[in-house]
Structure 1
Amino acid sequence: MPARHPGRSPSPVPPTLPTWPPQVSQEQHDHLLNLGTTFALSHGFTLLPPDSTTPPTHTFSAPLSLFPTPFPRGLYEWAKDLQPLYNGLYARIAMDWEFLDRVMGGVAKVDSFQGELWRGWKSCREDLVQPLQLGVFRSDYLLHQTSGAGPLELKQVEFNTIASSFGALSQRAGEMHRYLCKTTNYFSASSYLSLPNMPHNLSLRDIAAGLADAWKAYGREDAQILFVVQAGERNVFDQRWLEYELLERHGIKTIRHTFEHLEDLAQIDRTTKRLLLPSQLEPSAAPTEIAVIYYRSAYTPVDYPSHAEWTTRVLLERSKAIKCPSMALQLAGAKKIQQVLTEPGVLESFLFGPERPDVGWGKGAGNIGQRAADELRKTWIGLWPLDQSMLGREALEMALNQPERFVMKPQREGGGNNIYRNDIPPALAALDDQPRKSGEADKKEGYILMELITPPQGVSNWLLKGGESKARKADVVSELGVYGVMLFVDDQGREVNESGVEAVNKAAGTLLRTKGRESDEGGVAIGISSIDSPLLI
C-alpha cells in the first residue's frame, strides 16, 4: 500500500499561514461565544469540574477555540494517509519480542514503571491465549518552520498506543465550528471560513467502529466491552460518547471499572480463560463475559499505587479477552522506541522482508518499499539516546551546551513530564547526583533527547477555558493528532484465531489541540490546551 491514498495528488503546501483570527466586532464576538458554548453544553462537548459529585450535578464546556485554526490542507491529508503505515509499524514492533526485550530491557533497569510493565509482560507472554490485539492509536504532529521563513513541514511529536483520548470531543469541536459557520457565516470575516475548508471529522464513529470490530472478532454476542478507567475521571463525556455509540450503532454493551474494582471482581475461567465479571448490582446474576478490554487508564505510575494493580493487569493480560492495548503494544509506544526507530536501518528492518507478518498493508505485502520508509522519516525530528553510546555522548554534549534547542523526555504518557531548554542541564546534574549501586545503569538512560519543533509564528485565536465566560486572545500553537485503529493477529507460535480474522488497519479521524505559545506543556482538562478543529488552506 503506498503511503498516499491511491490516485490522490497531494495538495500544495502554502509558504505561510494567513494572519489569524479575522476581525469581528465585540457584539459579533460575544454572539459567537454564546452560540459556541451553548452548542458545547447541549451536545456533550463538556468536562466535569474538579469538585464533581457522584452523580454529577453540573458541568461546563470543554476548553474550546472560537474559530477553527488554519492548517495546510496538503499536510493534513498527508498525515491521514500515513496513519495506516504507522499503525502497521507499531503492530510489528509489538510482535517483535526480541526487539522489545533489547530496547525496553535496558530502559527497565533505570525506569521502575517501564520495568514493571516489561517484567509483567515477560511473566505471562508465553501463556497468552488470545492472538488478536487491538490498537487505538494517535500520532501527534506539530507544524515546523525553520528560521521563520522556510517551508511548512509536518513533524511527529509522539506516537500514542494507550488511552488515546478526545476522539469524541474532537468530533464535537468540528461540529461546533461547522454550526457556527452555517448559522452566522462567521459574519463574512474571512474568505477562508467556508464549509469546504472545514473537514468532516468522524473520530467518535471510527474509534467506536474499531472497538466493535474487535468485539465481533471475539465472536460472542452476549459479551461486553470493559472500559478500565481512572477514579474521578473528569473527561468522562469523551468516554461516555464511545459507550453510547457502541450501544446505539452496534448494539454492544459496555461496563466501566477501575483497577480497584477489578482486583475484587475479575475472574478467569480455568478451562476457557474467559474473563468474567460478577455484577456488583445484581449479585445473583450470571457473570458478564468480556470480549475487549479498553484501557483509558494504566499508562501512568499513579494508576498503580500498589503491587495489587500490577497483579490485576497481568491477570487481565492472561485472559481470552482482546486487549486494547496489550502490554506489548503499550511498551511499543515508549519514547525510547520512537528514538531507536530513527537509528540507521531500524525502521527499514520492520518494513522490509517476507518474514514480517501481514498487518493490513495488503495481502502478501511483506515489503512495502523504500518510499514508505522515506515518507515516515520525513515526519521525524532529531532524536538521540542519553546513554554511553557515541550518539548518547553527542546528545549529552549538545544538551549541556545548547539546551535551548531541545526537550528531554522520560518514558511517560499523559503530559507534564518533559524537561525543556535551560531546565535540562540542572535536571541532568540532578540525575548524576542520585546514588547508584555498583554496576547500576545511569539514570539518564531512562530519557531521550528531542530536537524542539519550531511552529510557525503569527497565528492567534480566541481560546475559552472550561468554566469561564470570557475568551482570551493568544498567539497559538496547534498540535494535530491522527487516530488509527489496528486489529491484528499475533500468533508467536500459538494457534491462529480460528475465526480467520483479517487485519483491520485504517485512519480514524483527527484531533486538533491549540494552546498559547507561552506554554510548553499541553493539558485540556486544566485549560492550557483547547479542543479545536482545522481550517484547511
Structure 2
Amino acid sequence: MSAEFDFSQWPPALSKTQLDALTLYSTTYALSHGLLYLPLIKPQPPIPSAAIHAPLSLFPSPFPRKLFDLARRIQRTYDTLYARIAMDEDFLDEIMGAETGVGKVDDFIGQLWKGWKQLRDDGLVQPLQLGLFRSDYLLHAPPNESISLKQVEFNTISVSFGALSQRTAELHRYLLNSTQYYNASSSLKADNFPPNETIAGLAGGLAAGHRAYNVEGARILFVVQHDERNVFDQRWLEYELLEKHTIRVIRQTFEELAHSAIVDPKTSVLHVKCSTDLHPSGLIEISTVYYRSGYMPNEYPTTSHYTTRFLLERSRAIKCPSIALQLAGGKKIQEVLTQPGILERFLSDEKKYGKDIFQEHKISELRASFMGMWGLDTGNDLLNPDTEAIKSGKEGYGVLKARELASSLVLKPQREGGGNNVYKEDIPAFLDSLPPKERQAWIAMELIVPPEGAGNYLVRAGSTGSESQNALKTEVVSELGIFGWALFGGSGTAVEEKEAGWLIRTKGKDSNEGGVATGFSVLDSVLLVD
C-alpha cells in the first residue's frame, strides 16, 4: 500500500448536522432495503411484526486494493484445499477423530466424528458434498513492517452475513451517490467502492448442489436455529433461489426435523413431512441440506439432536456442509496446515490429483497468509503430541511457549460463532485451569496487529427511537471475509468452485471478539485505497 494513506485520519471529519443526516439516511435506507434483524425478543413470535436495522457503519472502511485483490484471488485455492481435506478421511480421522485426534478430548467434535465414522461403516450413499465458505482476514501492520494480509480463520459451516453485506455495500454506495459524503475525503469516489454480488454468488452455490441432485420438484432444506434473529440474511438467499433459479426452500429447526424428517430405507431419499394443505402428498423431497445451525454444542442439547443430524447425513440429499467438511473447518486443521509439507499434500500431489492448477507461488501465497500457530499438546516436534507431559500433568512445549508469549497470543478451541477465545493477559490463568487432557482441543495463534488509529461511526438500533439515531465514533478494527463455494466428491477428485463475494465486519478496537450476531461487530463495506 502507498505510504500516502493514513489510517489514523479515518473517518473524515463531519459536522454534527452532516453526521445526523448520514445517520438518518443510513437507518432509513437499511429499513427500506432489508438490511434488517428481528428485535431481541424471546421467544420470537411465529409471525414477526417488527424489525430493526442491522448494526452498521456510516463510512466504508479503507482496505489496500492489492491486498483485497489478493484475498479474492486465493479464495479459489482455499476452496479447493478444504474440499480436498474433506475428502481425505484418513487425515480427518488422524487430526479430528475420537481415537487419535481432537475428538478424544472434545465431546462435541467426538460425537460428530463417531456418528460420521458409523455412517461410513454403514455406507454413505451421497458422495457429493457442497461447501459455502468464508475465509476471514485482518490487515497485519506491526511497527516497521509492510502491511500484509493474515487469515483469522476459514469457516465451513453456516457462513453468514453474505446477503446483508451486499446490502451494506449498496447502502454505502447510496450514501456516496446521494450526499457525496459531503466531499469529506478524496478517497470517497465510485471507483473505490467495489461491487459485491454475494447473494447471487452464494445462491449460485446452493443451486449447483440442487442441480447435481437433479430431481424435479425437490427443494432445498434450510436447517435453522430456534429464535433466529438473523432471518433476513437467510431470506435473501431464499428469494434469489426462487426468482433466479426456480428453486423452492423449506425451513426447519432440529426440533422440527426430529418429527418431520424421513429417510426412505430403500432409496435413502430424504423427505420432510408437512401438511397436505401445503403440499399435495404431505411429503417434500430434499435435494440439498443447508445448515444455518448445528455448529455449536448447545445446539445439540439431547441425543435426539445428534440422531437427527446423523439421519440427514445418512440420506441421499447433498449436505452443505457434510460432517466431514464441518470437521475440516476445525481450528486444529488450520494449525496443522501451517506445518511443513501439509499444504503440498493437498495442492501438489500430481499422483493423486493429476497435473494441478496450483503452482508453487499459489501455495506460497496461502502460506504467507498464515500467522504462527501451534497446538497446546505439542512437544518440540510440532507434528507429535507430547503424550508423556499430558499423562504426567507436566507442561509440554506448547503450553510453556503459550505462557512465555501470552501477551501476543490468542488461544482458540474448536468452536464457531464468536465469544470462545482466550486473549493475552487472560491466558496464564486459563492455562492454570485447563486440564492437561484437554490441551489437544486448543491451539495458540499469534495475534494479528491491525493498523493503528483507524476509526468509524458505528450505528446500532436501540430499544427506543432516540437510541437508534446515535452514531458512535470509535477506533476500530475491520475484518475482511471472502466467500466461496465448492461442489465436490462424486467419482473422482474434481472440485467445481467459485469465489462468491465479500464482507467487512468492524468492531471497536477494545473488543477482542468479532461476531455481528453475538453483538461485537457491525456490518461494513470496503473502500479501496492505494
- Give the alignment's TM-score, normalised by structure 2: 0.92
1:312-371 Cα distance to aligned partner (Å, 9 max, x none): 1111111110000000000000000000111111111111122334xxxxxx53362221
In the superposition, relative to structure 1, how do residues 274 and 181 fare at CA in structure 2: closer, same or farther (>3 Å)?
same
Q: Which residue of 1 aligns with 2:16?
A: 26
Shift of 1:57: 1.6
Cα distance in 2, alignment partners of residues 207 and 50 from structure 1:
27
Q: 1:281: how far off?
A: 6.2
**Matched residue type, 1:329:** L
Structure-2 residue corresponding to 1:404: 407
Aligned residue in 1 for 2:423: 420
Q: Which amino acid aligns with 2:227?
A: G
Contact between 1:428 and 1:444, CA under 8 Å: does it hold in 2?
no
Q: After the TM superposition, which residues 195-210 of structure 1 pair with which residues of structure 2 at under 5 Å, given as runs?
A: 195-210=190-205
Counterpart of 1:360 in structure 2 is none
Secondary structure in structure 2 of the residue aligned to 1:272:
coil
Q: Residue 35 of structure 1: which of 25, 31, 35 is its match?
A: 25
Q: CA deviation at 1:443?
A: 1.0
Q: Could you tell me how far apart the structure 1 residues matched to 2:375 and 2:209 are?
A: 36
CA drift at 1:525: 3.0
2:253 is matched with which residue: 249, 252, 258? Answer: 258
Alignment of 1:120-269 (within 5 A): 120-126=115-121, 127-147=123-143, 149-269=144-264
SS of residue in 2 equivalent to 1:155: strand
How much has 1:388 moved relative to structure 2?
Answer: 4.2
Question: 2:58: which partner in 1?
Answer: 66
Please give the secondary structure, in 2, of the residue aligned with 1:146.
coil
* Distance change (3 Å), C-alpha of 1:520 and 1:354: same
Corresponding residue for residue 7 of structure 1: none
What is the RMSD computed on CA atoms of the aligned residues?
1.6
Indicate conservation of the 8 Å contact 1:466/1:527, yes or no: no
1:381 and 2:371 equivalent?
A: yes
Tell whether the 8 Å contact from 2:330 to 2:414 is kept in structure 1 after alignment: yes
Q: Distance in 2 between matches of 1:239 and 1:281?
A: 26
1:534 alignment counterpart: 526
How much does 1:396 deviate?
1.5
1:293 is the counterpart of 2:289: yes
2:84 aligns to what?
92
What is residue 278 of structure 1 aligned with on the other side?
273
In 2, Cα distance between the equivalents of 1:280 and 1:115? 36
For 2:486, the equivalent position in structure 1 comes to 486
The equivalent residue for 1:9 is none
Aligned equivalents of 2:271, 2:398: Cα separation in 1: 49
Shift of residue 56 of structure 1? Answer: 1.4
Amino acid at match of 1:173: T
- What amino acid does structure 2 have at the position aligned with 1:22? P
Q: What residue in structure 2 maps to residue 437 of structure 1? A: none
Shift of 1:14: 4.9
Match for residue 349 of structure 1?
Answer: 345
Take 1:131 and 1:235, find their aligned partners in 2: how far apart are those partners? 31
Residues 270 and 14 of structure 1, relative CA distance in 2, 3 Å threshold? farther
1:195, CA displacement in angstroms? Answer: 1.0
Residues 378 and 398 of structure 2 are in contact (CA less than 8 Å); yes or no, is this contact kept in structure 1?
A: no
Counterpart position of 1:325? 321
Runs of at least 5 residues in structure 2 that lack an aligned partner in the other structure = 387-395, 463-467
**Alignment CA distance shift 1:372-1:308 (3 Å):** same
- Quick one: distance in 1 between partners of 2:183 and 2:360? 46
Work out the CA distance in 2 between the residues paired with 1:237 and 1:466.
16
* Structure-2 change in CA distance of 1:472 and 1:341 (3 Å): same
Count of residues in correspondence between the two structures = 503
- Between the aligned partners of 1:16 and 1:114, the Cα distance in structure 2 is 44
Q: Deviations over 1:31-71 (max 9, x none)?
A: 11101100100111011111142211211110000000100
- SS in structure 2 of the partner of residue 519 of structure 1: coil
Match of 2:498 in 1: 506
Q: Which runs of 5+ in 1 are unaligned?
A: 1-11, 358-363, 433-440
Residue 81 of structure 1 corresponds to 73
Distance, in Å, in 2 between the alignment partners of 1:138 and 1:317 is: 22
| 1:389 CA drift (Å) | 2.2
- Say if 1:17 and 1:70, in contact at 8 Å, map to a contact too: no
Separation in 2, partners of 1:515, 1:305: 31
Distance 2:56 2:379 in 1: 44
1:472 match: secondary structure: strand
Judge which range, 320-329 or 212-221, deviates more: 212-221
In the superposition, relative to structure 1, how do residues 123 and 164 fare at CA in structure 2: closer, same or farther (>3 Å)?
same
Correspondence for 1:429 among 429, 432, 448: 432
Relative distance call for 1:297 and 1:13 in structure 2 (3 A) is: farther
Q: Using the TM superposition, give the Cα deviation of residue 490 of structure 1 relative to its aligned residue in structure 2, in angstroms.
A: 4.4
